[in-house]
Each structure stands twice: as structure tokens, then as C-alpha cells.
Chains A and B, each alone.
Chain A
Amino acid sequence: DIQMTQSPSTLSASIGDRVTIACRASQSISTWLAWYQQKPGKAPQLLIHGASNLETGVPSRFSGSGSGTEFTLTISSVQPDDFATYHCQQYDTYSAETFGQGTKVEFK
């Protein structure tokens, strides 16, 4: 089974900060990696698929990179609407664990 590990679990940031979230897969998943944003009490929203492809309507301050086992989500300049939890997900192979444990971006 593929395991997904995110770091950090929590990240404190101020408005305008550049933040980076890491996601590691236990085996190569090529670029079959997605990022979701989830706000409290709401459903997740797909931000990025294919490791680096932004969904329509997602602000350009979000970017994704990586391939194989190492991936990152970057917010170039954090805005008030970006304080949320971010989940990475591999969609290469269905297994018991497809999502990372999540990274909460909180206001410093």
C-alpha cells in the first residue's frame, strides 16, 4: 500500500508570507498527486491535480510541484482566505490510504 506523509502538521503564517507544504509518497506515483483545501465545517475543494495543474478559478498564488515521491504546495503570498487545512492525495493506485494527514495553515 502507498502511504502519504505531509509536513508540517501545522504551519503558522502571516498575511503575505510565502508558505510551503510538503507531501511524500512511500513509492513513486509519477505526477498523480492532488491537493485539496478544506475550511472548517466545509467539504474539501480540489485545488491542483497532476501535481502542478491548477483547477479553474484557483488563484495563481497557489502552485504545486514535484514528481515521483516528493511534492510541494506553495502559496506565494498568503491571503486571509487561505487559512485552511490542505490535504495531499495520490490517485495513482487505490489503497487503504490515499490522503495525507493534512496540514493546517493558521494565522500567526
Chain B
Amino acid sequence: QLQLHESGPGSVRPSETLSLTCSVSGGFISRSTEYWAWIRQAPGKGLEWLGSAAYRGGTYYNPSVQSRVTISVDASENEVALRLNSVTAADTATYYCARTRSSSWILLMAHWGQGVLVTVSS
């Protein structure tokens, strides 16, 4: 059974870089054709897709954060990473890692991690 687990600092200072890791168990990234994605949810708000990346190539980002975000897939560690530069208070959110339902759709999320809350504060 596929399980995703997000981890990283719970607090980041403004203007710094937010870095999170998604550890994958119950399946090998190297054998996957699906996309691995990051989605966030600000407190009391809706869901926002940040980007999706596939081990076999292909990375797509939300245009609203494209200049600040990097998603990378590490098959050797069976992990997916998120980096978000130059954060502000508006980046305070619960960040979710997810895997798409198939390789055909970069946005259709079938498996989700439990999420990690990141607060941007000085």
C-alpha cells in the first residue's frame, strides 16, 4: 500500500527558502510512471496545486509560483522534494505531497500524504 509522508521545518523566516521532503513507501519511484505533486492549503482556505514532476521526465508548475518553486524526484532515496524560495506570510500553509492517479494526468491526485504545516514567521 502506497504511503507518503511529508517532513521538514515547521517554521521558516520571511525571504528564506522552504524545503520539504516527501518519503515514499510501499512502492518504488523508479518503477512509477505517475506524477508526484505538491499541493498546499492555507489555513481556512482552499487547495492550491504547486506543481507535478515525473521520475521519467516532465515537470509542470503553477504559473503563480513558477519563478520560486522547484520539485525534484530522487529515486535513489525514494523521495520527492519541494523548494519554495523567497517565502512570505502568504506561503503559510499545510503542504501535501501526492501521487497522480495515472501518468496521463498531472493534476488528478489519487494518493495523498497527511500534510505538514509550515508557518512563515520572523
Interface residues of A (CB under 8 A from B): 1, 32, 34, 36, 42-46, 49, 55, 87, 89-91, 94-102
Across the interface, which residues of B come within 8 angstroms of A32, CB to CB?
105
Tell whether, in the assembled complex, residue B107 and residue A98 are in contact, meaning their CB atoms are under 8 Å apart: yes
Residues of chain A lying within 8 A (CB to CB) of residue B101? 46, 49
Which among A43, A49, A100, A102 is the interface contact of B96 at CB below 8 angstroms? Answer: A43
The chain A residue with its CB closest to the CB of B100 is A91
The reply to whether B110 and A46 form a contact with Cβ atoms under 8 Å apart is: yes
How far does the alpha carbon of A100 sit from the alpha carbon of B109 in the complex, in Å? 15
Q: Classify the interface of chain A: helix, strand, loop or mixed.
A: loop
Residues of A near B105 (CB, < 8 A) are 32, 91
Beta-carbon contact of A95 and B63 below 8 Å: yes
Residues of B within 8 Å of A99, CB to CB, are: 46-49
Determine the main DSSP class of B at the interface with A: loop
What are the 3 A-B residue pairs with the smallest beta carbon separation, nearest first? A91-B107, A43-B112, A99-B47
Complex CA–CA separation, A55 to B111 (angstroms): 12
Q: Are A100 and B60 in contact (CB under 8 A)?
A: no
Name B6's closest neighbour in chain A (CB-CB): A43
Query: How distant is the Cα of A46 from the Cα of B109 in the complex, in angstroms?
Result: 7
Other-chain residue from A36, A45, A46, A94 in contact with B62 (beta carbon distance below 8 A): A94
For residue A34, which residues in chain B have a CB less than 8 angstroms away from its CB? 108
Interface pair A42/B108, CB less than 8 Å apart: no
Residue of B nearest to A101 (CB): B46
CB distance from B2 to the nearest CB of A (A): 13
- Specify which chain A residues have a CB less than 8 angstroms from the CB of B109 in the assembled complex: 36, 44, 46
A53–chain B nearest beta-carbon distance, Å: 10
Do residues B114 and A42 form an inter-chain contact, with CB atoms below 8 A? yes
